[in-house]
Amino acid sequence: MSPRPAGKHPTLLQVAQAAGTSVPTVSKVLRGGTDVSVETRARVMDAVQTVGYTRRSGNKLDGAPDETVRADVIDLVVTHFEGSWANLVLAGVGREAAAAGMDVVLTLADDPDVDWVSKVLRRRGIGTVVVLVDPTSRQFNTLTAAGAPVVLVESQGTPPAGAAKVGVANWDGGRLAAEHLLSLGHRRLGVVAGHARHIYSRARVDGFRAAAETSDLGHATVSVAYGAWETDGAAAATHELLDKDPRITGIFACSDPMALGVYEALAARGLRIPEDVSVVGFDDLPEAHWISPTLTTIRQPTTELGATAVRLLLNLARDDESTARLQTRMELATELVARASSGPAPHA
């Protein structure tokens, strides 16, 4: 397709031509209509991205009701509902939405084959908060083309260009964990990471490595194993680390639930916390207070993540001149909370 003329806004007709379909069919896709085949829907989503179509303020999609009238609903798309972290994010989203007079609709996107985008489009809500999901450029651009704002919370992959995103200082959190263990004399260190493909997991590991490699406190070694964000997986990763290097005395788990798995593995090997091995987590979930010994961890403002995402979404939804000045990439601070699970390194 030839480039569109400079200064010309892409039209639904151009999208339809690029997709090899009709304008009404494109409109159905952008409204989340169910009477469109999977193949046609995919072609339209690709064409939206190729053409660069976005609905301009005040414009109607052909054959649709007035697009400026939206339900007082915020869509929250998540990969899972279980666990303290997800519940805290939901609490932040719900609190801020209620304060704005909005309702929240939950959509589960735990299966890559689930067409969650069409579900969101059909509801015609104010906008969408997407948590821990890795939206493809095609999905993101389809939502944008339909005229509703999207805010990502800790997306698994690199956010699409132009995406609004709220996250935490993951790299800095990893650095804080390493500096804490180094200050206690630990020089043989292990990391139980989540997934190598998740950017927030990589950032925590990278921050930890950077602190260990540049410390003035002495040479330190860092070994990494992956626990897939699960307690059982973290236990297996801990055994893997200690089988390779039994002299490890400090372990950083990239989430508090994985720290529970580290505890289980150390107990199975007859190792005491923190006398033999110190443990640092990441999150500061309620579990960090319940386990014994209480968990030293990197606190992230989980509830505030959800609340901040809603505030940003509502600001974007105003669709006036002030939105152009909004900060759309926000990073909330992390901090170390020292408790009983970390202590001085044992003497060699």
Q: Out of 71-80, 253-262, 301-310, which region has the weakest mean confidence (pLDDT)? A: 71-80
Task: Give the residue, 339 or 73, on which the prediction is more confident.
Answer: 339
- pLDDT of res. 80: 85
85 Cβ contact list (under 8 Å, min separation 6): 255, 257, 283, 285, 302
Task: Give the residue, 312 or 159, on which the prediction is more confident.
Answer: 312
| Predicted structure pTM score | 0.81
Distance CA 280, CA 318 (A): 42
- pLDDT of res. 204: 97
- Structure confidence at residue 319 as a pLDDT band (50, 70, 90): low
Task: Give the residue, 285 or 61, on which the prediction is more confident.
Answer: 285
Tens of pLDDT, residues 221-235: 999 999 999 999 999
Distance CA 26, CA 138 (A): 14
76, 79, 64: which is closest to 32 by C-alpha? 64
- Enumerate domains of the chain plus CATH numbers: 1-69 (1.10.260.40), 73-168+303-332 (3.40.50.2300), 170-301 (3.40.50.2300)
* Residue 264 burial (CB count, 10 A): 17
Alpha helices for the chain (secondary structure H): 12-19, 23-30, 38-51, 84-99, 116-123, 137-145, 170-183, 199-214, 231-244, 256-268, 287-290, 302-317
Q: Rounded mean pLDDT of 17-44?
A: 72
Q: Rounded mean pLDDT of 159-184?
A: 93
- pLDDT of res. 308: 96
Distance CA 108, CA 139 (A): 15
Percent of the chain beyond pLDDT 90?
Answer: 56
Q: Out of 5-14, 26-35, 56-65, 339-348, which region has the weakest mean confidence (pLDDT)? A: 56-65
91 Cβ contact list (under 8 Å, min separation 6): 303, 306
- pLDDT of res. 99: 96
Q: Rounded mean pLDDT of 179-185?
A: 96
Distance CA 85, CA 255 (A): 10
The whole-chain average pLDDT of the chain stands at 85
Task: Give the residue, 17 or 204, on which the prediction is more confident.
Answer: 204
- Structure confidence at residue 240 as a pLDDT band (50, 70, 90): very high
**65 has pLDDT over 50:** no
- pLDDT of res. 187: 95
Distance CA 273, CA 294 (A): 10
Distance CA 201, CA 212 (A): 17
Task: Give the residue, 99 or 163, on which the prediction is more confident.
Answer: 99
Buried-exposed string 294-304: b where 16+ CB fall within 10 A, e elsewhere:
ebbbbbbbbbb
- Structure confidence at residue 280 as a pLDDT band (50, 70, 90): very high
Distance CA 28, CA 35 (A): 8
**22 has pLDDT over 80:** no
Buried-exposed string 312-322: b where 16+ CB fall within 10 A, e elsewhere:
bbbbbbeeeee
- pLDDT of res. 57: 44
Tens of pLDDT, residues 118-132: 888 888 888 999 998
Distance CA 20, CA 305 (A): 41
Cross-strand pairs, 23: none
